[in-house]
Amino acid sequence: MPGAGKKRQQSDRRRGGGAGGGAGGGSRDAAETASASVAPPVAAQEPEPTTPVQADRPMGYDGANSPPPAPRDTSMIPTSELPRDVPLGLGEPFETLATDINRRLDLPSAAYNLNKQYALPTSLPRRAPQMNSAGKPVMIRINAYNIAQYPTQTVYQYDVLVGSGVEKRALIRKVWESKAVQKCLSETWIFDGNRLAWTLDKKPGELNIVVDLDAEEGKQARAGRENKHRVIIRQTTKVPLGAITAYLKGTLAFDSSVLQAINFLDHLLRFTPSKNLVSIRQSFFSKGEKKNDLGGGIEALKGVFQSIRTYQGGRLGLNVDVSNGSFWQYHTLEYVVVQMTKSHFLMKCKDVKPHPDAEKMVSSATWRDLKRLNRLGVFPRHRGIKIGERSYIIDSLIKADAFTYKFELKNHETGAMDRTSIYEYFLKRYDVTLRHPQLPLVQTTKRGVVFPIEILALQNNQKYNWRLDEQQVGDRTTYVLWEGSKRR
C-alpha cells in the first residue's frame, strides 16, 4: 500500500530510531542515534541465538520450526472443562467425577476434589468456635432449618437391573412396583427410579425375578409378544450414615463414604413427597394446584424447593424455599396447538418452501415451533379411556393428513388385507367423524401407531423446557412475586 511506508517511518520516528529515524525525532534517544551515525562503520554482528517462545497451539506444533510442546498440565483444570478427547495428566483416560452420583446435591467445596483434579485443596477453613464479640447481636431470619436428628446406622446399597439396562424410566418404575418384585422385598426399600436401591436389610447373593406385566394386569398374553421382564437385584456396597456425623465433627475428611451418605439422605427426603407430588429435581409441585395461564398453551405453577446442606459449625440443615415452574396446559392437543400458533394453524404448518440450493423442503417457522410437542405424553379420548390407563409419547408430527395416510387393515369378513385411510378407520371402527381431517397426524414412539391431533389430550404436569417469550416472562414474574411475609 502507498501509505504503509510513511506510517512505518512515522512510528519509527516516534520510537526515536530505526531505518527512518533522524535527528529530528525530538527525543534524547533520537539525538544519540544521530551522533552515532557519524562514527566509523562497525562490522555487523550476528544476533545471539534465542530460544523460540513456545505458544499455546491447541492444533499441534510446526515440527520444522519449533520443538514439540511440553505435555499440558491439567492438574489445575476442572475435568468438566476438558474436551472429551483430552486425557487427564499423562496418558490417563477420561474419568467421571464422583459428584456425578447426584447432580441435585448442594455439596461443600471439599466434595469437588474427590477425583484429585486440583493441585490445591478446595476445602474452606473451619470457622473458629469462638464468635466475634464486637458489635451488637441482631436477629436474622433465613430459609434454612437445622436437622436435629437423622439416621446413623449402616444402609445397604443395591444395583437394580431391569431387562438389558436400556429400558425407559416408566417401564422400570412399573416393573419395580409390580407384585412379583414387592413380594420379595420389605417395606423399607427406597428406589431412585433407575438403577439404585437402599434398604436396612442385607440380602445374601442376588435376587433374580421374572415379572409378567400382562398377568399382573389381568390381560391375556399375545402370541409371540410376551410382556415379561427380568429383574436382577444385587448388593454393591455399604453406606455408613455415621460418616456424616464424623465429617460434621471434623474427625473425618470429606470422602466417598460421606458423599454416598448424603446422597442416600437426599433420596430418603424425596421418597415420600415424590409419591404424591410432581418431582422435578429438588422441587415439588402439587398435582391439583391452581395454575396461572401464560398463553401459548403454557401455565405457571408455584411449588416447594428443598435441599440438604452441610453448614459450618458442624450442622446439617434443610434449605426450603418457594419454587416456580412452567408446565404444558392439561388440555386437548388441538387446543394447545391453536394456542401455540395463536390462530388456526392449518395453512401455516402446511406451508413448506423449496430449498434454493438442494432438492429438499424447508418447513415454516410454525411447523418448527410445533416440534416442541415431541416427547410429550398424550392419551386418546375417543374410546372412553380413563386418564392414565393408556398413554403414548409423541415422536413427531408428520405432514400427512387423515385422507392421504393409509395402512393395511385386515377385513374380518373376507380375511383379506384392505388398504384404508385414517379417516375411514375412525368412521367405520369407532363411528367418529373427524372434524379436521386435513390436519397433520401425530406419530407416536410406538411403531405403527398414528393418531389425528383432535383425538389426543396432553397428560397433566409436564414440564415446559423451552424459553418463554417476553409476554410470558412478564406474566410469570407478576405471578411468582411474593411478599416476604407470605414466603415464610
- Per DSSP, the residues of 404-433 read T-EEEEE-TTT--EEEEEHHHHHHHHH---
CA atoms of 346 and 448, how far apart (whole Å): 24
State the pTM of this model: 0.67
CA atoms of 367 and 38, how far apart (whole Å): 81
SS3 485: helix
Q: Which of 285, 281, 287, 325 has the alpha carbon at shortest distance from 466?
A: 325
**Ranges of the chain whose pLDDT falls below 70:** 1-96, 98, 100-104, 120-122, 124-127, 343-364, 384-389, 482-488
Give the contacts of 19 (CB within 8 A, at least 6 positions apart). Answer: 9, 12
In eight-state DSSP terms, residue 349 is: H
Residue 327: per-residue pLDDT: 93
For residues 143-181, one letter each, b for 16 or more C-beta atoms within 10 angstroms of the residue's C-beta and e for the rest, the string is: eeeebeeeeeeebbbbebbbeeeebeeeebebbbebebb
Asked whether the beta carbons of 308 and 105 are under 8 A apart, the reply is yes
Chain segment 94-135, per-residue pLDDT in tens: 456 767 666 667 777 777 777 777 776 667 666 677 777 888
Residue 151: per-residue pLDDT: 87
CA atoms of 152 and 241, how far apart (whole Å): 5
Chain segment 329-347, per-residue pLDDT in tens: 999 998 998 888 876 555 5
Residue 336: per-residue pLDDT: 92
Residue 102: per-residue pLDDT: 67
Residue 205: per-residue pLDDT: 82
Q: How far apart are the first and last CA of the chain?
A: 72
Residue 230: per-residue pLDDT: 92
